[in-house]
Amino acid sequence: MSYREPLQRQQKQTIVSGVLCFVGILVILQLWLLTATMNAHLGGDNSVVVPAAVASVICLALNLGLLYYLYQLDQRE
């Protein structure tokens, strides 16, 4: 069984900063999806509604996965 050294504070901060960037990008992507979908829907074009909803759910799943990883980071110590 391999021994994993606990992460240093600076290392954890770097990881959290990286996760924050990813989550931020995904949230901005979701915002764009929402506005584009609403614009299309109000113009009568509903062909993008389902794909956009699926993409948004995938983004949320990724965000939740990253958040879960952060919690695991704390519980590792």
Partner 1 sequence: MVDWLKPKMRYPDGQPLERQPRWRRDFPIESGEDAYVARRDFVKFLVLTSAAFVTGQLWILGRAILGRGRGALPRTRIAALDEVPVGSAKMFAYPGEHDQCLLLRTAPDTYHGFSQTCTHLACAVTPDFENNYLLCPCHHGYFDMTTGQPLAGPPQRPLPRILLEIAGDGIYAHGVELRT
DSSP conformational letter for 47: T
Rank residues 3 and 70 by Cβ distance to partner 1 and give the closer one.
Answer: 70
SS3 6: coil
Which residue number, 3 or 52, has a Cβ lying nearer to partner 1? 52
Residues engaged in binding partner 1 (CB under 8 A): 9, 12-13, 16-17, 19-20, 23-24, 26-27, 30-31, 33-34, 37-46, 49-50, 52-53, 56-57, 59-60, 63-64, 66-67, 70-71, 74-75, 77
Residues in contact with 29: Cβ distance below 8 Å, sequence separation at least 6, in sequence order: 59
Please give the Cα distance from 64 to 26 (Å, whole number): 11
